[in-house]
Amino acid sequence: MRPEVPTIPVIPYGRQSIDAEDEAAVLAVLRSPLLTQGPATAAFEADLAAHVGARYCVAVANGTAALHICMAGLEMGSGEGITTPNTFVATSNAMAYVGLTPVFADIDPDTLNLSPAETEAALTLQTRLIAPVHFAGLPADMPAFQAMAADRDIRIVEDASHAIGSEYVGGGKVGDCRYSDATIFSFHPVKTITSGEGGAITTNDEGLYQRLLMLRSHGITRDPARLSDNPGPWWYEQQALGFNYRMTEMQAALGASQLRKLDRFMARRQAIVARYHQAFAGLNWLVRPPETPGQSVCQHLFVVQIDFEAIGQTRPEVMTALLDQGVGTQVHYIPVHLQPWYRQTHGTATGQYPAAERYYDRALSLPLFPAMTDADVERVITAVRALV
């Protein structure tokens, strides 16, 4: 039976924060001559590359498109790619798109990120790629992954869909690619900044950058330096089998406007996270996400782990009880290896990645977004503490 709609406004687990400046930026593009492949996209790419400290940036239609052409652009051939089961399906799906066999390695139960030790154990002579996901905004242990790939022909792609604004231990912004071949971002509305849909790849590899530009737009180039012939100004060449993954000018204008607010959004998220940690510190039936003293992390999700058995309630019952108080929740994520396509195609099964499965059995994401008021935050805290 479908639960009744609560009579009080629901605080969702995530939501975009759009203001008059964002609206004006999009409107200006709508009134301009170009709605695609224009100056707004190039400006957004330049701003994002400068913000994270990378040499190059390519903006695309969404985060999945970013993963796809990034992996295609690395030209790895057949083999295996390793990633975490604690993520959205797009990370491993992109491996399958480019002919790699997705392989999972278990998570570190403390950080909830891909475990370097489990990744090392999963390496084979067929491993071509490691794709760590910075879950909930906390960067994975990138120096460890870089070290294990250094003496092997293994590429590294960071899935930073959750982690724009975060910094590594020791400094450096996620996306500067000091530890990887490339980093991808997502700008879906629940992410820290949004362009509606949208994604981007940052890299310091000029060759990869040039391939990404072509793969984004049908494999076509108009660059005179790259053409095999040039009979006139109309000329273009398809030099690869590419895709139509271009970002629109409206998306780019919104993304650039949002990027200018990133520091403010980050500060508000950090304040909410600090209040949650303070309020939930004494609950012996709830495990909080890891705290990061001395490391600047822009948390995308605030995921708690609840001992449902100890409190005598199921997860659906808890979600319903919170919804009755106007608090929306979500589960991040159903382990990818438990999805039917992976079971049927790659033979994955329950029990293969016990840390990820234990985490999933207890996980619940609470509301976290910059537009939350202090009253919203206290309503969430009151509702959670009232569960027991």
Task: Provide the 8-state DSSP code for 379.
Answer: H
Task: Provide the 8-state DSSP code for 291.
Answer: P
- Does residue 158 carry a pLDDT above 70? yes
Per-residue pLDDT, averaged over 64-85, amounts to 98
CATH 3.40.1280.10 fits 262-385, yes or no: no
Determine how many CB atoms are found less than 10 A away from the CB of residue 183.
Answer: 31
Q: Which two tokens stand for residue 75?
A: 């030209």
Tell me the three state secondary structure of residue 177.
coil
Calpha distance 96→200 (Å, rounded): 20
Per-residue pLDDT, averaged over 331-354, amounts to 98
Secondary structure element (H or E) that encloses residue 119, with its range = helix 116-122
At residue 289, the pLDDT reads 97
Domain locations along the chain: 20-259, 262-385
Over the stretch 226-282, which tens digit does the pLDDT of each residue have? 999 999 999 999 999 999 999 999 999 999 999 999 999 999 999 999 999 999 999
Per-residue pLDDT, averaged over 144-149, amounts to 98
The share of the chain scoring above pLDDT 90, in percent, equals 97
- How many residues are present in the chain? 388
Matching CATH topology for 20-259 and 262-385?
A: no
At residue 8, the pLDDT reads 85
Per-residue pLDDT, averaged over 97-108, amounts to 98
At residue 3, the pLDDT reads 56
| pTM score of the predicted model | 0.96
Calpha distance 13→87 (Å, rounded): 17
Residue given tokens 């690395």 in the structure block: 74
Q: How are beta strands 79-83 and 100-104 bridged, if at all?
A: parallel
At residue 2, the pLDDT reads 57
Which candidate in 134, 188, 191, 269 is catalytic?
191
User: How far lies 30's CA from each of 34, 36, 252, 311, in Å?
Assistant: 8, 10, 12, 53
At residue 5, the pLDDT reads 54
Class of domain 20-259: alpha beta
- Does residue 120 carry a pLDDT above 90? yes
- Does residue 92 carry a pLDDT above 60? yes
Examine residue 359 and say whether the peptide bond preceding it is cis (omega within 30 degrees of 0): no
Determine how many CB atoms are found less than 10 A away from the CB of residue 32.
Answer: 14
Over the stretch 234-243, which tens digit does the pLDDT of each residue have? 999 999 999 9
Calpha distance 268→298 (Å, rounded): 9
Judged by phi (left if over 0) then psi (alpha if -120 to 50, else beta), residue 49 lies in: alpha
Confirm whether 191 is a catalytic residue. Answer: yes
Per-residue pLDDT, averaged over 33-52, amounts to 97
Average pLDDT, the chain: 97
- Does residue 95 carry a pLDDT above 80? yes
At residue 327, the pLDDT reads 98
Over the stretch 344-364, which tens digit does the pLDDT of each residue have? 999 999 999 999 999 999 999
User: How far lies 13's CA from each of 22, 37, 189, 304, 309, in Å?
Assistant: 22, 34, 12, 12, 23
Calpha distance 262→232 (Å, rounded): 43
Task: Provide the 8-state DSSP code for 244.
Answer: B
95 and 233 in contact (C-beta within 8 Å)?
no
At residue 1, the pLDDT reads 53
At residue 151, the pLDDT reads 86
356 and 106 in contact (C-beta within 8 Å)?
yes
